């Protein structure tokens, strides 16, 4: 991984890598999140986001290569 910060963000268990975050409003952070996931290539990214509601379409928070589950 090219960034030291990413090493702290990515966790690995038996070959499965993942990150997790408490977004506190992911909309303004979505481009940074997309970038981090594109260079880290983790298997899963878990987001705790209580500020999202049905007025925001999944297409606005879509991250290529990942599936949104709610």
Q: What is the pLDDT of residues 2-40, one digit of tens each?
A: 556 666 788 888 999 998 888 888 899 899 889 888 888
Contact 33, 26 (CB under 8 A): yes
Is 67 within a domain? Answer: no
**pTM for the whole thing?**
0.76
Range of the domain at 51: 4-61
Give the number of residues written for the chain.
70
pLDDT(1) > 60: no
The pLDDT value given to residue 49: 87
Which of residues 9 and 1 earns the better pLDDT score?
9
**CA gap 42, 11 in Å, rounded:** 9
**For residue 53, how many C-alpha atoms fall within 13 Å in the half-sphere facing its CB?**
2
Is 45 within a domain? Answer: yes
Is 68 within a domain? Answer: no
Domains held by the chain: number: 1
Q: Please compute the mean of the pLDDT values over residues 38-51 and round it to a whole number.
A: 89
């Amino acid at each position: 991984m090219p960034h030291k910060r990413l090493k702290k963000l990515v966790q690995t268990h038996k070959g499965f890598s993942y990150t997790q975050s408490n977004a506190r409003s992911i909309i303004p952070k979505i481009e940074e999140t997309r970038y981090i996931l594109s260079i880290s290539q983790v298997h899963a990214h878990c987001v705790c986001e209580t500020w999202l509601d049905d007025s925001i379409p999944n297409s606005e928070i879509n991250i290529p290569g990942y599936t949104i589950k709610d």
